Structure 1
Amino acid sequence: MKHLQRRLLLVSALFAATAATGFAQAQAQLDQAAPAFSARGADGKAVDLASFKGKTVVLEWTNHDCPYVKKHYNSGNIPTLQKDAAAKGVVWLQVISSAPGEQGFVEGAQAAELNSKRGAAPNNTLLDPSGQLGKLYGAQTTPHIYIVSPEGQLVYKGGIDSIATNKVEDLARAEPYVKLALAEVAAGRKPNPANTKPYGCSVKYAKS
């Protein structure tokens, strides 16, 4: 029995190591296929990245209680970006990777209510309480933005703009990385810069 238990422990350890290696390799890399996923939307329906092939997709990690997120929503900056993107056929998906009991965790109905109050206009809000999707993409902060091209490649990842503060007055003089990146993709060009430093609150993953 002890021998069997040792073998089971060894197999479990090997599986965990293999899974960790595969996970690291799967993280989002620029100019490569964006990692595939299927996640639950705030409306309870599954959202599959593959279903948006042929469209530009924005993934926005968010946490409504984060001061940096509040800066971009209360000022109207992110809602305006979302509406402009929608007018151009871009799919904008919020992602909430806050774990239950952590700052920013919400259920679907609350996510929808928050967006309504803030005048936000994402196509959907993906609920990721396990943090699986966030870790797949390597999301570090809220906000943290990823842009997937119509061909399914990751073409931008990083900050929403160039000034890493939670002060609304800094918006006017910041370089709007995401706005510029979307314009480049729409014109059939690669964003430049394509990889910028994200800033904000840390993503509130489940404590291990």
Structure 2
Amino acid sequence: MNRRHWLGLGAWLPLGLLLPLPSHAARIGQSAPDFSLEDTAGRSIRLSDLRGQAVVLEWINPGCPFVRKHYQGNMQSLQSTYTGKGVTWLAINSTHDASTDYLAPPQMARWMQERGAAATATLMDEDGQAARAFAARVTPHMYIIDARGVLVYAGAIDSIASARVADIERATNYVRQGLDELLAGKPLSTPTSQPYGCSIKLKNGSA
């Protein structure tokens, strides 16, 4: 992708993503911050109620080219594979309702359905409480929580920070690698990585 195309993405330009995570970020090896959010059907889901099973958190914004890259089949494949192994997969939309990218719950549900998503639930975080608790900054920003409720992975979905679908095949998929290791009872070989994607459009300012 050339420089001119990057500039055409405007708010999607990922130049700030080499900065370290904020000091208030949820920490690897510590209990994941709890939250309670409603899914697109209005059902409440509390993270702490999911103790006893591994959980993936996936920050999502359908207007983001990096999200659309992975929703050409890569994200759906991950969701289907690991929910089939007992993992709970929560897609979280923290886009503020004043943003041009905002989708109301029925629209968000329709977008996921049309793409064959297999997330356990799609949660609406319109006030940004969950995003701020985890210091989620971009879409897709990915987290893995073990059955004890401990955060064991935070970062990018994979090792190539681009919006090109062709890069998926040659990238190291950190989420797949981490879940395979976790389910095998092994420590994660890559517990953190630099997240890449589009800035989350949070209420009272971007992430």
TM-score range, shorter chain: 0.7 to 0.9
- The answer (yes or no) to whether the contact 1:99–1:205 under 8 Å persists in 2 is yes
Q: 1:91 to 1:103 in 2, by over 3 A?
A: farther
Name the aligned partner's letter for residue 123 of structure 1.
T
Give the aligned partner of residue 61 of structure 2: 63
Give the aligned partner of residue 174 of structure 2: 177
Please list every run of at least 4 consecutive aligned residues from structure 1 whose deviation after the TM superposition is greater than 6 angstroms: none
- Give the alignment partner of residue 167 of structure 1, picking from 164, 168, 189: 164
Superposed CA offset, 1:82-138 (max 9, x none): 000111010000000000121432222111101111010111111011111101100
Superposed CA offset, 1:34-81 (max 9, x none): 01111111110110111111100000000001000000002x000000
Q: In angstroms, what is the RMSD of aligned CA positions?
A: 1.3
Give the aligned partner of residue 3 of structure 2: none
Q: Structure 2 stretches of 5 or more lacking a match?
A: 1-21
Could you tell me how far apart the structure 2 residues matched to 1:101 and 1:53 are?
A: 34
Q: 1:25 to 1:141 in 2, by over 3 A?
A: closer
- The answer (yes or no) to whether the contact 1:103–1:204 under 8 Å persists in 2 is no
Could you tell me how far apart the structure 1 residues matched to 2:23 and 2:172 are?
A: 31
SS in 2 for 1:60: strand
Q: Structure 1 stretches of 5 or more lacking a match?
A: 1-23
- The answer (yes or no) to whether the contact 1:105–1:129 under 8 Å persists in 2 is no
- Give the alignment partner of residue 145 of structure 1, picking from 142, 146, 149: 142
Could you tell me how far apart the structure 1 residues matched to 2:107 and 2:181 are?
A: 34
- Give the alignment partner of residue 86 of structure 2, picking from 60, 84, 89: 89
Is 1:123 equivalent to 2:120 in the alignment? yes
Is 1:31 equivalent to 2:36 in the alignment? no
- The answer (yes or no) to whether the contact 1:26–1:35 under 8 Å persists in 2 is no
Is 1:98 equivalent to 2:129 in the alignment? no
Is 1:42 equivalent to 2:32 in the alignment? no
Give the aligned partner of residue 52 of structure 2: 54
Is 1:111 equivalent to 2:108 in the alignment? yes
Could you tell me how far apart the structure 1 residues matched to 2:70 and 2:160 are?
A: 12
Per the TM alignment, residue 200 of structure 1 is displaced from its structure 2 partner at its CA by: 0.4
Superposed CA offset, 1:149-203 (max 9, x none): 0011000000000000000111111001100000011011221110000100011
Could you tell me how far apart the structure 1 residues matched to 2:53 and 2:101 are?
A: 29
Give the aligned partner of residue 5 of structure 1: none
Give the aligned partner of residue 76 of structure 2: 79
SS in 1 for 2:108: helix
Could you tell me how far apart the structure 1 residues matched to 2:93 and 2:58 are?
A: 9
Name the aligned partner's letter for residue 186 of structure 2.
R
Name the aligned partner's letter for residue 158 of structure 2.
D
Number of residue-to-residue matches in the alignment: 184
More helix by share: 1
